[in-house]
Amino acid sequence: MNFTEAKTRSENLRKLIERHNRSYYVDANPAISDFEYDLLVKELEAIEKEFPKLQTADSPTQRAGSDINNEFVQIKHKYPMLSLGNTYSENDLNDFDRRIKKVTVDNFEYVCELKFDGISISLTYKNGILQQAVTRGDGEKGDDVTANIRTIRNIPLKLYGDYPEEFEIRGEIFMPRASFERLNKERANAGETLFANPRNATAGTIKLQNSSQVAKRGLDCFLYYLLGENLPHSSHYENLQEAKKWGFPISQNIRKCQTIKQVIDYINYWSEERKKLPYDTDGVVIKINSTEQQEELGFTAKSPRWAIAYKFKAEQAITKLLSIDFQVGRTGAVTPVANLQPVQLAGTTVKRASLHNQEQINILDIRINDMVIVEKGGEIIPKIVGVDKSYRTGNSKEFEYITHCPECGTKLEREESEAKHFCPNENGCYPQITGKIEHFISRKAMAIDGLGIETIELLYKNNLISNVADLYDLKKEQLLPLERIAEKSAENIIKSIENSKNTEFQRVLFAIGIRFVGETTAKKIAEKLHSIDKIMMASSEELLQIDEIGERIAQSIIEYFANQKNKEIIQRLRNAGLQMETKETSVKISDKLKGMSFVVSGTFTLYSRDELKQIIERHGGKNVSAISASTAYLIAGEKSGQTKIEKAKALKVKIINENQFNELINE
């Protein structure tokens, strides 16, 4: 076979294989056997091996993966990957329905989807070709796992039909139960540790550095959310049906509902029927169908206001409470943990469960040797929710809560407003010290690779680190004599620590571990005050003016920076080269739009919607999702929502285009 013949045959084979992929994964109507399919792929592999120039990025042969190890690169999401608000009750769903009706006066539809128990993924396509696959990460940045995702057979590498030039589609990667059972059987035969459940197995598989190993694990995928500037429809459900025509795996169990009662009927049906599915689901996601109404409802800092996740009722089991231990967290919070007689619950063996605090123990009247009710509902560690007192005997012993720290012996404290007890010895209590360092290096904070909790403890016990600033004084020569640290590992640790100096300020602020200051709060503080110096000098009144900061958070920030040891650590981090202020691109340019609120709707030529919103904020303006009498301007582009335009006219809100907006900021 010469090159020309090989080129023609390889092109025909690719088309044929992709057609069979579509028949199998999208239409659920396979036309050939697995054996015949494999023969086609092997023929294409042989041609591409003989003529390497004929291999393409979208070739079906790429499903096999590669043996080359590549470290994952962090990619910033074009559209943040927010989490959903959760509920377990019908009352909350009715409240959600009432909130929607307050904002959206027009008729609206709900879309109900099964909530798959896997790992979120965002796929970017350009000109119909898969370009990039990124994990959720911290919502703003995620890992580039494109090589691994290419191995999942029902994710199309190349699309069919009339699709947008560029768009993102999001969904869930999961491991079917059959694949999970096969994998654990293989691990058992090899003497390896078994995965606890399919979700853990999926997470571990996606992060493998060897994509050829990923290809063998039998992952699957459903996609459920389309994003982009030029989507075919102005409704979520219809966009998904179009995506199915392009070759995407879209669940056939999606339903449109006209009322919240129909939503609840859907939930009640699937709460039992889901057990017949070949994969795990843990709830139902409810979304507003109209993308215009979604835009009108907008977002909170953490989640969309137009969607909610209903979690199926947690499974419960009854077992014996053997004893209670106490764990000390990085903030000094002391948490009681129950040791249980092992019991099967939701597919895993449960030996420990959270008791949260003394108040809960007293309310439930929990005693040693009681038969307790254990529940596993969305939490990593199961919790005790009750006691079956019909089993109680004379062997049950009332429990006395500890008064001193189980780690350092310091007397515990408990403020009136707090449910938990705290150890105040933050700089001398071992789990607090190592916990702070573990938080500092975590993915959502400084993202320092190679330093797990075991390595942190090893460094601490060898007197190499006692706080986060000590990390930046480490040398490779200090690490090499330590157990389990080879030269390559030592080099990677030092390199990762050095790279962390480029981490943006808002994540540094989150990483230092101020109590009650989470990711979102750190971001808002950084955006408002811009530098560590301004935060250190801020008064309680200044802090309270920042969105979502209340008295408890403000007081915690002031107390943190009043501590001389904390200020010394900050100075050492600054000297090491960490980012202690926001970059110029985030800083306000002017006050031209101060006091003005804007609604941005439609698509634009000069900017994306996100860019317009950033420019508004940098000139002192405020972005809002819904039009009201106090809205200053509606910036309307192509395909702007007609409802928004009509509402703006009715309320006499000024409607401008992007050129008029430019004139406004350039005056």
Q: Has residue 27 got a pLDDT over 80?
A: no
Token code pair at residue 530: 């811009």
Give me the pLDDT at residue 138, please: 78
The arithmetic mean of pLDDT across residues 366-371, rounded, is 94
Tell me the Ramachandran region of residue 389: left when phi exceeds 0, alpha when psi lies from -120 to 50, beta otherwise. alpha
Pick the CATH number of 76-311 from 2.130.10.30, 3.30.470.30, 3.40.50.1820, 3.20.20.60: 3.30.470.30
- pLDDT(350) > 80: yes
Homologous superfamily of 505-586 in CATH?
A: 5' to 3' exonuclease, C-terminal subdomain (1.10.150.20)
Question: Sheet holding 255-257: strands in order across?
Answer: 86-87, 307-311, 281-288, 110-116, 255-257
The whole-number pLDDT of residue 26 equals: 57
Contacts of 635 (CB under 8 A, 6+ apart): 598, 599, 600, 601, 612, 656, 657, 658, 661
What tens digit of pLDDT does each residue of 79-135 get? 889 888 888 889 999 999 999 998 876 789 999 999 998 999 999 999 999 999 999
Distance CA 664, CA 666 (A): 6
Q: Which token pair is 620? A: 């002192």
pLDDT band at residue 1 under the 50/70/90 scheme: confident
Over residues 34-56, the mean pLDDT reads 82
58 pLDDT above the threshold of 80? no
CATH 1.10.287.610 fits 3-64, yes or no: yes
Predicted confidence (pLDDT) per residue in 161-182, tens digit: 999 999 999 999 999 999 999 9
Q: How many residues are there in the chain?
A: 667
Q: What is the pLDDT of residue 344?
A: 86
- DSSP tag of 23: I
* Of 512, 514, 548, 553, nearest in space to 528 by CA: 548
Contacts of 133 (CB under 8 A, 6+ apart): 121, 122, 123, 124, 144, 145, 146, 148, 149, 150, 155
User: Is residue 45 classed as helix, strand or coil in its secondary structure?
Assistant: helix
Same fold across 430-502 and 505-586 = yes
Q: What is the pLDDT of residue 593?
A: 92
pLDDT band at 49 (very low <50, low <70, confident <90, very high): confident
Q: DSSP secondary-structure letter at 208?
A: -
The per-residue pLDDT for range 582-604, each reduced to its tens digit, is: 875 455 678 899 889 999 988 88
- 115 tagged catalytic: yes
CA 119, CA 206: separation in Å to the nearest integer?
A: 8
User: Does residue 399 come out as left (phi exceeding 0), alpha (psi in the -120 to 50 range) or beta?
Assistant: beta
b/e code 153-180 from CB counts within 10 Å (16+ = b): bbbbbbbeeebbeebbbbbbbbbbeebb
The architecture that CATH gives domain 315-398 is: Beta Barrel (2.40)
Mapped onto helix, strand or coil, the DSSP state of residue 281 is strand
pLDDT band (50, 70, 90) for residue 275: confident
Q: What are phi and psi of 50, to 5 degrees?
A: -75, -35
Q: What's the number of CA atoms in the CB half-sphere (13 Å) around residue 196?
A: 13
- Its CATH architecture, for the domain 597-666, is 3-Layer(aba) Sandwich (3.40)
Q: What was the pLDDT predicted at 587?
A: 59
Q: What is the DSSP letter of 132?
A: E
Judge whether 466 and 434 are in contact, CB under 8 Å.
no
CATH for the stretch 430-502: 1.10.150.20
DSSP β-bridge partners for residue 598: 623, 633
Q: Worst-scoring range by mean pLDDT, 184-198, 262-276, 282-296, 413-427?
A: 184-198
Average pLDDT, the chain: 89
The pLDDT value given to residue 218:
93
Among candidate residues 49, 115, 245, 613, the one labeled active-site is 115
Please report which confidence band the pLDDT of residue 463 belongs to, taking 50, 70 and 90 as the band edges.
very high
Q: From residue 287, how far is each of 85, 255, 280, 632 by CA, in Å? A: 12, 11, 21, 29
Whether 68 shows a pLDDT value over 50: the answer reads no
Q: For the range 517-520, what are the long-range contacts, defined as Cβ-Cβ under 8 Å and sequence gap of 24 or more?
A: 517/553, 517/556, 517/557, 519/138, 519/139, 519/444, 520/301, 520/302, 520/548
42: confidence class by pLDDT, cuts 50, 70, 90: confident
pLDDT digits (tens, 9 = 90+) for 306-331: 999 998 887 789 999 999 999 999 98
Predicted confidence (pLDDT) per residue in 653-666, tens digit: 999 999 999 889 88
Q: How far apart are CA 344 and CA 333, in angstroms?
A: 29
User: SS3 of 308, please?
Assistant: strand
Q: pTM here?
A: 0.62
Q: Residue 642: pLDDT above 90? A: no
Q: What is the distance between the alpha carbons of residues 107 and 509, in angstroms, rounded to a whole number?
A: 44
The two structure tokens encoding residue 225: 């959310």
Contact between 451 and 499 (Cβ < 8 Å) = no
Boundaries of every domain in the chain: 3-64, 76-311, 315-398, 430-502, 505-586, 597-666
Residue 416's pLDDT is what?
Answer: 77
Residue with tokens 């654990």: 184
Work out the average pLDDT over 489-512.
Answer: 94
Q: Given the DSSP bridges, would you call strands 86-87 and 421-422 parallel, antiparallel or unpaired?
A: unpaired
Check pLDDT > 50 for residue 67: no
Q: Is the pLDDT of residue 212 over 60?
A: yes
Place of tokens 């000098």: 537
Say what the pLDDT of residue 114 is.
Answer: 97
Position 69 confidence tier, pLDDT thresholds 50, 70, 90: very low
- Percentage, residues of the chain above pLDDT 90: 56
Give yes or no for residue 60 having a pLDDT over 90.
no
The stretches of 247-364 forming alpha helices (DSSP H) are 260-273, 291-297, 358-364
CA of residue 395 relative to chain centroid, distance: 45
Q: Between these two residues, 104 and 1, which has the higher pLDDT value?
A: 1
